[in-house]
Chain A
Amino acid sequence: MKYYDKLIFELSKEGRSACTLPLPDRKLELPETLRRSSKAVLPQVSEADVVRHYTNLSQMNFGVDTGFYPLGSCTMKYNPKINEEVASLPGFRDVHPLQPGAKGYEQLYEEMDKALASITGMAHFTFLPCAGAHGELTGLMLMRSYHESRGDFKRKRIIVPDSAHGTNPASAALCGLEVVVVKSGENGLVDVESLKPLLGDDLAGIMLTNPNTLGLFERDIKAIAELVHSCGGLLYYDGANMNALMGVVRPGDMGFDILHLNLHKTFSTPHGGGGPGSGPVGVCNKLVSLLPTVRTSAFHGNAGVILKAYAYILMLGKENIAKLGKLACLNANYIKEELKDCYKLPIDTVCKHEFVFDGLEGANTLDVAKRLLDYGYHAPTIYFPLLFHQAIMIEPTETESKETLDDFIAVMRKIACEAKENPELLHSAPHNTPVSRPDETLAARQPVLKWQSQ
C-alpha cells in the first residue's frame, strides 16, 4: 500500500468531462426563481483520471481479499465471486421496484424466506431492513406491535445485557423503550438471579445475542426464555453472532420470538466498506400477521444483497450448512488455545466463533492492534465488549485455513515479544501503512468535513 494524496477535486480542470451523453436538442426551461444560482462545484476530469484516482484510493484499503480480517462480531468471511456475478445479471439489475409481475424477484423472496426460516427455526421474515441495526429496530417495533395488538399498552421496558452491541440499547431507545441493563456474572453469562427482579408485567422483552459478545453460549437460555415468557415478554435475538450456531442451534428452538440476521456477516455478502448490508427480521408464528404493518424502508430492502446471500445458501446446500458453525468455532478455539499463555484470557472455557482477550501484559491494546497492521493483518475488534478494559475480540470465521491461523498466531506471539523488548515499536506503530496514526483529537476539535478550494 502506498500513500496517495489526491482528492478527485484536486484533479479538476475547467471544461474537462467524462460524460458521453449526446448533446440535448432542447435545453430545460424553468422560471428563474426555481433555478440554482450558480453551477454545483463538481470535479471536471477525464475518464482516465477517474479510473486512476479510484484505483489509487483502493490501494490504500484493506479488504477480506487482501488478507486475514479477524474483526470480532463482524464475521469477515470470504465473499464468493460468483455471488457478485449472479446478482448483477441485467434481469435483476434493470427491474423497477414498483413493477408488478417481477416473478424472478418474487420467487427469490419466497425461497429466501423459506431457507432462512429453516435455518433459524422462525416462521417468516421481512426483508425491508438494510442492516443489522435497522433489523433490530424493525424487530422491536414488531415486539411493541404484538403487545399492543393484544391491548397491552404498558410494556415499555426492555432488558439488555451489559455485554450487548451498542446498537441494541440505541435501537431500543428509538423504539420508545426504557433500557434496563442486566449485568453479566463472573463467568461472562447473563446471571439468571439478577434477571429475576427485572421482570414484570411492564416488560416488553429482552434482547440477547447468543453466543454473547464474549463468544460464550448463554447456557441458561431456556430458563431465561421461560422467565421472560412467563411474565408476558418476548425474546429478541441479535443475529450478529449467528455464525457460531449455523447448522447446529436454531434461535427459534432456544425460545426466541423475533430475530434479525446480518446477511453481510453470516451469509457472506461483502461489507462494502460499511454497507450495503441486509438485516432481514424473522418472527415466530404468533407475530407473522404483524409483518406487513411495519414499513421501515422505501421498497423491498436491499434486493441486490439478498440475491448474493441466497446464492451463498444454494452453493452450501443442506449438506454443508451444518458445518459452518462448527468450523468457525474450531478456528476460534484454536487461536485462543495457541495464544492464551501470552495474552490474558479472562474466561478460560470453550468459546464459540469468537473470544476476548483482556490485552497483553505491559502493553496497550491499541498498540497491539496497530502493530498487527504492520504485519499485513486487519486488527481484531478492540475495547469491546466494555466488560474488560483492554479487550481484544478475535473472530477468524470458518473460511480461513490452519496455515493462515498459524501465521497469525506466530505474529501475535512476535508482537508479545516486541512489547517486552521494544515497546516503542508498538507505541509508534503502524510503520508500514500508507499513513501513520492520525490525530483524532484535531479532527474532532476543528472539524474539516468537506473539501474546499484554497
Chain B
Amino acid sequence: MLKRVSLSSLDELYSDVPEDCKFKGEFDLPSAMSEQQLREYFERLAAKNPKSKVFVGQGAYDHYCPSVIPYLCSRSEFLTAYTPYQCEISQGTLRYIFEYQTMICNLTGLDVSNASLYDGATAAVEAVRMCVACTRKRNKVLLSDGLLPNVIETIATYAKWEGTELEIIPCEAGETSRTALLEALDGTVAGVLLPGTNRFGIVEDHSGLADAIHQAGALFVEYCDPSTLAVIKTPAEWGADIAVGDGQSLGIPLSYGGPYVGFMACRNEYMRKMPGRIVGQTQDAQGRRAFVLTLQAREQHIRREKATSNICSNQSLMALWITVYLSLMGPEGLEDVNNLSYQAAHGLKDALLKTGLFEDPYPGKPFIKEFVLKPLCDVQKLHAALDKAGIFAAWPDKEGNVSFCATENRSSEDIRALIDVVNSLK
C-alpha cells in the first residue's frame, strides 16, 4: 500500500507536519490489555461502586427497564449507524424517530417534537433560547425555584454567554409562587419556565397561569417528568407552548447520569424555531411511504451561525430506548407504573412520619413518587446509618429538608429496611 502511494514509510505520511509539532515521547497510558484482562479490569472497577437501594430521584428515577429494551437497542443496525443522512438505508432509524416524535407529542399533548436533545437540562436551555427567539426584543426568562437545581444551573451557564436575563420565581408552600410570578410578568419577559412536578415532588397547579403569561406576551414552558404525564394534566392542557424534560424516567437505567435523553415538544406555530433534527413523512419515487430528516433550514449544517441551535449529534439511541419502553408499557402499563410508584412512595411517607423523626413541611400537597420531609433527627447520622445498610435516601435540599423517592422498583421489604434504619436512630 505504501508503494502505491509512493512512500517508503508510514512516517512520510506526516512529512507536511513540522518536526516540532510531532510527539516523540511515550504516552502515559497502561500497556495494551487482552479482552480477558479488560473484562476483569472493568468488573473490578464496577465492584467499587455502591450497590444501594435507591430512594432518591431529583431528575434520575429508578424505574423498571424490561429486558426487551437492551436487546433491541443493541442490534448493531441501530447501534452502529450514523445520523440518518442517507435516508434510503436509514429507514429503520428514521421510522423509530418518527414513532418517538409521535409518542412525545401524545404524552405532552403538543403538536411537534424534535428527534431528541442531550438531556433534560440542555432541553430546558434550548427552550429558554426559543422563548427569546419567538418574542421580539424580549430578553428575560422567569424560572421557577421549583425546578431542579442542576437544571437552573445549566440554564444560568448558557444564559450568561447568550445574554439572556434570568429571574428566579420563589416557591411558597412547596409550589411556584403565583403572586411572585404574576408580579414579575412584565413587557420584558420572553418566557416562563415552570415545573410540572417540582423538585419537592409536588404536582403543581398551573390553572390560569397560561392566560396570564400569554397576556403578558411571553411563552409558557413546562419542564416535566414524562413518566408522570400518563396520569397528570399535560403541558398542552395547562396551555403551555413548549414542553421539555428528561426521558430517563421512561425506563432508562440510572447509569451515573447518562446517557439519558432530552425531549422537546411545542405548538405548531413555533415549529420552525425548534432546535435539532426533525423527521418527517413523505414518499419515495414509487409512491411508498418513506421518512426523511426535514425542515433542515433551521440547522447548523445549512445555516451555520444563524442556526436555531448548534446541536448536531443528539441521543438517538436513547430515543429508541424510550420508544421501545412506551411500546411495551402502553397507556395502561404506564399508568400502572405511576400507580405502583404512588403506592410505594405514599406508603414510605406515611411510615417515615410514623417514626416521629420527620415532619411534613408541605402537608396535603399532591405528589406521585417523590416528596420531601423535615428531619427532626441528625441528618449526618441518618446518612451514615442508611449508607451502612446499603440504602441511598434522604437527599438534602437547600431548605434543610430531605427528599425521598420510591418507584415500582422498591418493594415493601426495601421500604421496611429503610424504616428499620430510621427507627434504629431513636
**Interface 0/1 of A72-107, CB less than 8 Å to B:** 001010010010111011111111111101111101
A410 interface residue per 8 A CB criterion: no
Residue on B nearest A41 in the bound complex, by CB? B106
Residue on A nearest B107 in the bound complex, by CB? A40
Residue on A nearest B253 in the bound complex, by CB? A93
**Interface 0/1 of A23-42, CB less than 8 Å to B:** 11111111101111101111
B387 interface residue per 8 A CB criterion: yes
Residue on B nearest A298 in the bound complex, by CB? B121
Chain A residues with CB below 8 A from B43, complex form? 86, 89, 91
Residue on A nearest B277 in the bound complex, by CB? A274
Chain A residues with CB below 8 A from B60, complex form? 96-98, 299
CB atoms of B92 and A58 under 8 A apart: yes
CB atoms of B81 and A50 under 8 A apart: no
Chain B residues with CB below 8 A from A299, complex form? 59-60, 119, 150, 256-258
Residue on A nearest B41 in the bound complex, by CB? A314
Assembly CA distance A26 to B253 (angstroms) = 26
CB atoms of A436 and B305 under 8 A apart: no
Assembly CA distance A412 to B403 (angstroms) = 61
Residue on A nearest B118 in the bound complex, by CB? A130
Chain A residues with CB below 8 A from B337, complex form? 21
Assembly CA distance A322 to B11 (angstroms) = 11
A363 interface residue per 8 A CB criterion: no
Which residues in window 309-362 of A have CB below 8 A to B?
311, 313-322, 326-327, 329-331, 333-334, 336-338, 349-350, 352
CB atoms of B50 and A7 under 8 A apart: no
CB atoms of A118 and B29 under 8 A apart: yes
Residue on A nearest B71 in the bound complex, by CB? A51
Chain B residues with CB below 8 A from A370, complex form? 88
A282 interface residue per 8 A CB criterion: no
CB atoms of B5 and A330 under 8 A apart: yes
Minimal beta-carbon separation of A330 from chain B (angstroms): 6
B389 interface residue per 8 A CB criterion: no
A447 interface residue per 8 A CB criterion: yes
Chain A residues with CB below 8 A from B8, complex form? none
**Interface 0/1 of B381-405, CB less than 8 Å to A:** 0000001000010010000000000
Contact partner of B237 (CB less than 8 A), chosen from A26, A36, A98, A451, is A36
Chain A residues with CB below 8 A from B118, complex form? 130-131, 134, 275, 297
Assembly CA distance A326 to B148 (angstroms) = 47
CB atoms of B205 and A36 under 8 A apart: no
Residue on A nearest B59 in the bound complex, by CB? A298
Chain B residues with CB below 8 A from A304, complex form? 255-256, 258-259
CB atoms of A317 and B256 under 8 A apart: no
CB atoms of A8 and B310 under 8 A apart: no
Assembly CA distance A74 to B22 (angstroms) = 24
**Interface 0/1 of A253-275, CB less than 8 Å to B:** 11000000000100000111111
B363 interface residue per 8 A CB criterion: no
CB atoms of B203 and A30 under 8 A apart: yes
Contact partner of A434 (CB less than 8 A), chosen from B74, B91, B115, B282, is B91
Assembly CA distance A98 to B58 (angstroms) = 8
Minimal beta-carbon separation of B196 from chain A (angstroms): 10
Minimal beta-carbon separation of A373 from chain B (angstroms): 5
Question: Contacting chain B: which of A165-173, A190-198, A227-235, A415-423?
Answer: A165-173
Quick one: which of A103, A170, A254, A298 has the most chain B CB within 10 A?
A298
Chain B residues with CB below 8 A from A349, complex form? 16
Residue on A nearest B278 in the bound complex, by CB? A449
Assembly CA distance A443 to B294 (angstroms) = 6
Assembly CA distance A8 to B328 (angstroms) = 10
B179 interface residue per 8 A CB criterion: no
Task: Evaluate whether A36 and B81 lie within 8 angstroms (CB atoms) in the complex, with A174-B310, A438-B290 already known.
Answer: no
How many residues from A make CB contacts under 8 Å with B? 188
Assembly CA distance A86 to B323 (angstroms) = 24
Minimal beta-carbon separation of A419 from chain B (angstroms): 19
CB atoms of A7 and B99 under 8 A apart: yes
Assembly CA distance A76 to B86 (angstroms) = 14
Minimal beta-carbon separation of B92 from chain A (angstroms): 3
CB atoms of B205 and A34 under 8 A apart: yes
Task: Evaluate whether A133 and B256 lie within 8 angstroms (CB atoms) in the complex, with A21-B64, A438-B291, A443-B294 already known.
Answer: no
Contact partner of A50 (CB less than 8 A), chosen from B54, B260, B324, is B324
CB atoms of A63 and B331 under 8 A apart: no
Quick one: which of B154, B316, B327 has the most chain A CB within 10 A?
B327
CB atoms of B255 and A303 under 8 A apart: yes
CB atoms of A61 and B50 under 8 A apart: no
Assembly CA distance A440 to B81 (angstroms) = 21
Minimal beta-carbon separation of A172 from chain B (angstroms): 7
Quick one: which of B92, B129, B303, B342 has the most chain A CB within 10 A?
B92
Contact partner of B313 (CB less than 8 A), chosen from A25, A54, A121, A264, is A264
Chain A residues with CB below 8 A from B256, complex form? 92, 95-97, 102, 105, 299-300, 303-304
B288 interface residue per 8 A CB criterion: yes
Question: Contacting chain A: which of B30-38, B187-195, B210-218, B413-421?
Answer: B30-38
Contact partner of A31 (CB less than 8 A), chosen from B103, B316, B366, is B366
Chain B residues with CB below 8 A from A270, complex form? 76, 79-80, 317
Apart from A273-B317, A304-B259, list 10 A-B contacts with CB within 8 A: A26-B342, A40-B107, A130-B259, A167-B301, A174-B161, A273-B90, A274-B313, A303-B258, A314-B33, A449-B112
User: What are 24 residue pairs bridging A and B, where the CB atoms are less than 8 Å apart in the complex?
Assistant: A26-B339, A36-B237, A40-B229, A42-B331, A65-B77, A85-B39, A94-B51, A98-B58, A99-B56, A104-B49, A119-B29, A131-B118, A133-B313, A166-B300, A166-B302, A176-B163, A248-B14, A249-B21, A298-B246, A369-B86, A430-B89, A439-B282, A443-B280, A450-B101
In the complex, the 6 A-B pairs of residues with the closest C-beta atoms, listed nearest first: A299-B257, A91-B46, A317-B32, A19-B333, A272-B317, A97-B257
